[in-house]
Amino acid sequence: AQSVTQPDIHITVSEGASLELRCNYSYGATPYLFWYVQSPGQGLQLLLKYFSGDTLVQGIKGFEAEFKRSQSSFNLRKPSVHWSDAAEYFCAVGALYGNKLVFGAGTILRVKS
Amino acid sequence: EAQVTQNPRYLITVTGKKLTVTCSQNMNHEYMSWYRQDPGLGLRQIYYSMNVEVTDKGDVPEGYKVSRKEKRNFPLILESPSPNQTSLYFCASSPRQTSQPQHFGDGTRLSIL
């Protein structure tokens, strides 16, 4: 069965500190992986995506993610968090054809000053 | 500007009163989809459409209907809403392949009393 696990429901980090949000997936075919961010009252914005090639992908707003096939993981990182990064983050997996995305339950990021 | 537009953004209604949430995209995308977002569950797919007159059930289709008579529009219909359909709903669209990210609307918050 296809599934995405985000083990951390809430994470709190200090402004300026580094951040890592975890994502593990279970998928029968070649996974195509995404991270989305949702600010309060807003829709989902794509941060980055991975299809193939270099396993370290760069996204918008200074985020990056690393695909590790052996660990079935696609963790999101940022070296220095800003207060404006406080939001909910979703990891998702899909197939090349079919377009369905399977989402994780989300991780709420709080940033303390 | 590329957009997925949902209406209404907020709706409070009563059990059994039929309602329709509209979704329109201006990107000529073939694929459109509806998700519901519930705390702790992430986003779950309700219905999707691969093109005009082609629709199929997602993971949680019970109590919902959709139609795709035109490429740009994909309305979500609740024929007899019930309180367990109180949720935040998102419409999304993308070109045929998942290699292109899904664009999300800003969401519709439905409260069924």
Spatial distance between the Cα atoms of A14 and A2, rounded to a whole number of angstroms: 34
Spatial distance between the Cα atoms of B15 and A87, rounded to a whole number of angstroms: 32
A99/B50 Cβ within 8 A: yes
To test the contact with chain B by mutation, choose from A99, A102, A103 the residue with the greatest count of B C-beta atoms within 10 A, namely A99
Residue from the list B45, B58, B104 with its beta carbon closest to the beta carbon of A44: B104
pLDDT category, B99, cuts 50, 70, 90? low
Spatial distance between the Cα atoms of B72 and B3, rounded to a whole number of angstroms: 11
B31/A99 Cβ within 8 A: yes
Strands (E), A1-113: 3-5, 10-14, 19-21, 24-26, 32-38, 44-50, 56-58, 64-68, 73-78, 87-94, 101-103, 107-112
- Report the percentage of chain A scoring pLDDT > 90: 73
Residue B48: pLDDT over 80: yes
Residue B96: pLDDT over 80: no
Q: A53-87 burial string, b = 16+ CB within 10 Å, else e?
A: eeeebebeeebbbbbeeeebbbbbebeebeeebbb
Residue A113: pLDDT over 80: yes
Q: What is the pLDDT of residues A46-88, one digit of tens each?
A: 999 998 888 999 999 999 999 999 999 999 999 999 999 999 9
Structure tokens at A11: 């994470």
Structure tokens at A29: 């075919």
Q: What is the pLDDT of residues B5-17, one digit of tens each?
A: 999 999 999 999 9
User: How many interface pairs between A and B have CB atoms less than 8 angstroms apart?
Assistant: 64
Residue B64: pLDDT over 80: yes
Signed CA dihedral, A9, A13, A15, A17: sign only: negative
CB < 8 Å to B4, chain A: 43
pLDDT category, A23, cuts 50, 70, 90? very high
